[in-house]
Amino acid sequence: MVGPSEENDLKSGTGILACLSLLLIAGNTCAQSEYGNDNPRVAANIGIPLGVALNPMGHYLSGGWGVDAGAGYNVNRRSAFIGEFMWNTLNPTSAVLQPVRVALQSRDLTGYSNLFALTGNYRFELRRRRFGTYFIGGGGWYHRNAYLYLLTAVPPGITCDPSWVWWGYNCTPSNTVITTRRQVGSNSSAFGANGGIGFTIRVGEAPYRFYVESRYHYAPTKNVNTQLVAITVGFRY
């Protein structure tokens, strides 16, 4: 069962990814015209990030994988400006699920979360014929959600601790959970920043390269700050 909020998030993420895919296709056409040129004007990348949540978000989420895609312009061999879209699934920890499981007496209850980011970044690269190193950083829009689906209603009188607030529940003035909602979820958006380092190795003829990157993401989202380290592997030119 997909709720309205989740459906809107998926539509937004799919639309952004579709636009970036078109840019990547266009960029690939340009790159083919510059086959063998190690200094192309078009910059593009696509990879799979493995995200690890850091505290305080790490108390609620562990990590997961996703998709990262970008396209931009190489000013010269060292400098580039790149727009990127990242989507990362994030798995809930047992600590954030346990209070709900105990209250509902359901050990199988689970939930999930997503992180979307649309950023503009600057990349400074030190690239030789085969190997390269680069630094990248920038900022943009971050959106995080969390969903929990219940098969039974929450009984009255449950103490409202941070785990319930994380899943989108509201609390009464007497600090008990408001139990009228069957489908719950929380959403938060904020402008944030990122920075990291990457390493590349040329694959075949220029300008195609395999890359490994580590990047830190931060956004002051509601209730709990979003902090994530994403280790990404992929291909770029």
**Low-confidence winner among 53-62, 88-97, 182-191 (lowest mean pLDDT):** 182-191
pLDDT at position 16 is 53
pLDDT at residue 181 is higher than 80: no
- Confidence class of residue 40 from pLDDT cuts 50, 70 and 90? confident
132-176 pLDDT tens trace: 999 999 999 999 999 887 666 777 888 888 888 888 888 888 888
> How many independent structural domains does the chain possess?
1
Where on the phi/psi map is residue 59: left (φ > 0), alpha (ψ -120 to 50), or beta? alpha
pLDDT at residue 122 is higher than 70: yes
Query: Which residues on neighbouring strands pair with residue 125, listed in sequence order?
Result: 134
Selection from 111, 120, 100, 90 nearest residue 226 by Cα = 90
Supply φ then ψ for residue 163, to 5 degrees.
-65, -40
Q: Can you give the CATH number for the domain in which 174 is found?
A: 2.40.160.20
**CA distances to 14, 133, 197 from 18, in Å:** 6, 29, 27
Check if the beta carbon of residue 17 is closer than 8 Å to that of residue 56: no
183-194 pLDDT tens trace: 678 899 999 999
Q: CB-based contacts of 91: which residues, under 8 Å, 6+ apart?
A: 61, 62, 63, 64, 112, 113
Average pLDDT over residues 119-129: 93
The DSSP code sequence of the chain is ---HHHHHHHHHHHHHHHHHHHHHHHHHHHHHHTTT-SS-SEEEEEEEEEEEE-TTGGGTB-EEEEEEEEEEEESSSSEEEEEEEEEEEEPBPHHHHHHHHHHHT-TT--EEEEEEEEEEEEEEEEE-SSEEEEEEEEEEEEEEEEEEE-SSPPPTT-B--HHHHHTT--B-TTSBB----SEEEEEEEEEEEEEEEEEEEE-SSTT-EEEEEEEEEEE--SSS-EEEEEEEEEEE-
- Confidence class of residue 127 from pLDDT cuts 50, 70 and 90? confident
Q: How far apart are CA 93 and CA 223, in angstroms?
A: 17
pLDDT at residue 32 is higher than 80: no
pLDDT at position 6 is 46
Average pLDDT over residues 9-21: 54
- For the question of whether the overall pTM of this predicted structure is more than 0.85, the answer is no
Residues of the domain holding 17: 4-236
